[in-house]
Structure 1
Amino acid sequence: MNIELLLLMLVLGSFVGVMAGLLGIGGGLIVVPALLFLLPQAGIEPAISMNIALATSLSTIIVTSGSSALNHLKLGNVDMFVIKWLMPGVVVGGFVGANIAEWIPTEYLPKVFGVIVLFLALQMLLSIKNANERSMPSSAKMVGYGTGIGVISSLAGIGGGSLSVPFLNRHGVEMRKAVGSSSVCGCVIAISGMLGFILHGYSAENLPAYSVGYVYLPALAAIASTSMLTTRIGAKMATTLPTAALKKIFALFLMFVAGTMLL
């Protein structure tokens, strides 16, 4: 880790914080592709760079989503029913996803990530024109959906906002509250997923210095230190922007990330 890489990660963290507050994402959609580019420059072997990117991304999300959640709570943008019934599922799903990622060949993980994100982008674009809303599922189904969101999010190294925000908005939750509630769930998913990657990473070979399992501490410290300061900017923007504009920003952002990972 040299000065140039450190500065890039500090800038990355600042951008991630704004986007986390604005869109309810944990930042993994930005952090994972960025780390895949930056980690080899820090001397980390390509064979383990994807797992390190996923694990480190999840660890930064704990700080970023936690900070974003606190800001949204202050602004009244959190739906407590959603938190109550999604939370148990995302805890279990986050841990399961980290275990699944260990068995998927490294070269396929970016493609899996890209396909998931592209699907979500198309779903969000369609929801702008289709105003039909579904009723909120029963509490038991909410736990099941939460488990699915946790598995996919942990597998992709994200906090789940790209999954939970479209899901909640589709089921009648106002966009601003979907974003705020997603921030709370994203923090929990990240904790569960990170623990799974730490446990599996202890037996991995050729890990860089200053690693805890697959979590690379220098990258975590640099990204988290600035992201937690800028989430309030994004949270205030989410409160003032129209719902349609938020959806368009979200969808275009997802398409950009998906294209980057697939190509």
Structure 2
Amino acid sequence: MDILANQTVLIEIAAALVLAGAAIGFLAGLFGVGGGAISVPVFYEIFGALGYPPDIAMPVAVGTSLAVIIPTSIVSARAHNAKGTLDMAILKTWAVPVLIGVMLGSFIARYAAPEVFQAVFVTIASVNAVKLLRRGKSWQLRDTLPGPWVMRLGGGGIGLVSAIMGIGGGAVSNLFLTLHGVPIHRAVSTSAGVGVLIAIPGTVGYILAGMGKDGLPPASLGFVSLAAFALTIPTSLLTTRFGVAMAHRMERRALELAFGTFLALVALRFLYALFA
């Protein structure tokens, strides 16, 4: 009887991962995010249900999320670039600073308490959600992007925060770009490219940070669960292009409201986790 019960639980977990993959891919295309806002809480709940403590479940959820973001962000960035709205000049400016920030965030991940990950998630998602939903001119710092040094500092911060949150940086880079007058469609498209810059070194960093850690799930490479990765990827790649197509059909304000609502829900979810 116990064997049948365990098999049922494993089937339910596998089904949840497949569905999460579909949501991750769609969101990656729609909002220019890597889908980490979906995959991190889903992975966290699944590893928790399997009996892993928060100090293992949270970094594994974040590391696996970054691994999943690699292919989805590449597909999303290519699709947005084909629409002509991905700003390669911004990506070139951010490439090195983002890498430095990501590696620092991955190092912090080895020693940080799970509450640190959740608190960063709530803060960034909440600020961005309020900005997008209220859409006041007061939420715009200036009409143009800042100088190269401020841009580089911004890129480093985006990499650092995104690595701790386990996201492709879309929510953070979108906030930075729109605060400096970048139109929402261009910000979303460029944020998809940021996901590529963050996810690859972020995944490597989490693999290295988790090496030798006791109590990791089976089939893990550091803080990356290869089993969760394998179950999530197929549907995420299938749905990414649908998200891109919808993003470019939506009006600017509709896209802002949709993205803001999505981030607000994510913030509430992690706020609940902090105080539950």
TM-score normalised by L of structure 2? 0.90
Q: Give the structure 1 partner of residue 256 of structure 2.
A: 247
Query: How many angstroms apart in 2 are the aligned matches of 1:181 and 1:120?
Result: 16
**Among 184, 198, 203, which residue is 2:193 paired with?**
184
Query: How many angstroms apart in 1 are the aligned matches of 2:104 and 2:116?
Result: 18
In the alignment, structure 1 residue 237 sits paired with structure 2 residue 212: no
Q: Give the structure 1 partner of residue 3 of structure 2.
A: none
**Among 130, 135, 147, which residue is 1:138 paired with?**
147
SS in structure 2 at match of 1:76: coil
- For 2:13, give the aligned amino acid: L
SS in structure 2 at match of 1:102: helix
Q: Which has the larger radius of gyration?
A: 2
- For 1:129, give the aligned amino acid: G
Query: How many angstroms apart in 2 are the aligned matches of 1:78 and 1:224?
Result: 24
Q: How does 1:44-123 map to 2 (within 5 A)?
A: 44-123=52-131
1:192 deviates by: 1.5
- For 2:110, give the aligned amino acid: E
Query: How many angstroms apart in 1 are the aligned matches of 2:241 and 2:191?
Result: 15
Name structure 2 gaps, 5 residues minimum.
1-8
In the alignment, structure 1 residue 169 sits paired with structure 2 residue 178: yes
Q: Give the structure 2 partner of residue 153 of structure 1.
A: 162
Q: Give the structure 2 partner of residue 20 of structure 1.
A: 28
- For 1:16, give the aligned amino acid: I
Query: How many angstroms apart in 1 are the aligned matches of 2:43 and 2:25?
Result: 16
1:87 deviates by: 1.8
- For 2:137, give the aligned amino acid: N
- Count matched residues: 262
Answer whether contact 1:198 1:213 (CA < 8 A) is retained.
Answer: yes
Answer whether contact 2:144 2:182 (CA < 8 A) is retained.
Answer: no
Cα 1:8–1:93 shift into 2, 3 Å: same
Answer whether contact 1:115 1:262 (CA < 8 A) is retained.
Answer: no
Post-superposition Cα deviations, 1:37-82, rounded to whole Å, max 9, x if no partner, equal: 1112334343300010010011111111111111111111211211
Query: How many angstroms apart in 2 are the aligned matches of 1:201 and 1:88?
Result: 24
SS in structure 1 at match of 2:159: helix
Cα 1:143–1:107 shift into 2, 3 Å: closer
- For 1:35, give the aligned amino acid: F
Answer whether contact 2:109 2:209 (CA < 8 A) is retained.
Answer: no
Query: How many angstroms apart in 1 are the aligned matches of 2:78 and 2:144?
Result: 27
Answer whether contact 1:24 1:161 (CA < 8 A) is retained.
Answer: yes
User: What's the RMSD between the two structures over aligned residues?
Assistant: 1.6
1:209 deviates by: 1.2
Cα 1:163–1:46 shift into 2, 3 Å: closer
Post-superposition Cα deviations, 1:118-168, rounded to whole Å, max 9, x if no partner, equal: 122123234x23285421111222111000000000011111100111221
- For 1:89, give the aligned amino acid: P
Query: How many angstroms apart in 1 are the aligned matches of 2:156 and 2:55?
Result: 29
Answer whether contact 2:94 2:151 (CA < 8 A) is retained.
Answer: yes
